Amino acid sequence: WSLQASNMSIEAFSKVLQKANAILQDHFSHIPLEKLSEEVHAAFQRLDLDDKGELGEERLLAAFEEYGSSHVCALRLGAEEVRELTERYDVNRSGALDRFEFEHMVRIMLAKPCDAACPVCLAYPTRRNTFSL
């Protein structure tokens, strides 16, 4: 993934990451680290309505709408913003996030280290615990 392949400027994408971070922080930050994987996987299962094991842009948009509506400022991400996030965190380039990519994204946004057995980190070592927004 690179911003060069994107239509979005670095500044605009930085704002997307900040909004996504605020939404995910609001939804998941209260969860103790030892229960985070379990809770993220449960959230993934609730969102994966068709049991395909992946969340496409439409489902991710719905998730961010649901999670963002409870945020104090009622933050929203648009379809283009979700597309950019999907492109960034869809490391296997399937066009959707599987449960490991979804958890990896959540952990990055929460600045919580991935488990040693994180499939995303193992397959793509340059993605290991990269917390920069």
Cβ–Cβ under 8 Å, residues 121 and 42: no
For residue 113, what are its two tokens? 């280290």
Structure tokens at 18: 């900040």
Residue 69: exposed, middle, or buried by beta-carbon count in 10 A (0-12, 13-18, 19+)?
A: exposed
Cβ-based neighbour number of residue 23 at 10 Å: 24
Per the rule left: phi > 0, alpha: psi between -120 and 50, beta: everything else, 6 is: beta
Choice between 130 and 67, residue whose per-residue pLDDT is larger: 67
Q: Are 81 and 16 in contact (CB under 8 A)?
A: yes
Q: Which two tokens stand for residue 30?
A: 């209260």
Could you tell me the sign of the dihedral formed by the alpha carbons of 43, 46, 52, 57, in that order?
Answer: negative
**Mean per-residue pLDDT, 15-30:** 89
Distance in angstroms (rounded) separating the CA atoms of residues 83 and 65: 14
pLDDT reported for residue 10: 84
Say yes or no to pLDDT of 129 above 70.
Answer: no
Q: What does the pLDDT look like over 34-87, one tens digit per residue?
A: 999 999 999 999 999 999 999 999 999 999 888 877 655 567 888 999 999 999
Provide the mean pLDDT of the chain.
85
Specify the pLDDT at position 95.
94
CA–CA separation, 43 and 66 (whole Å)? 11
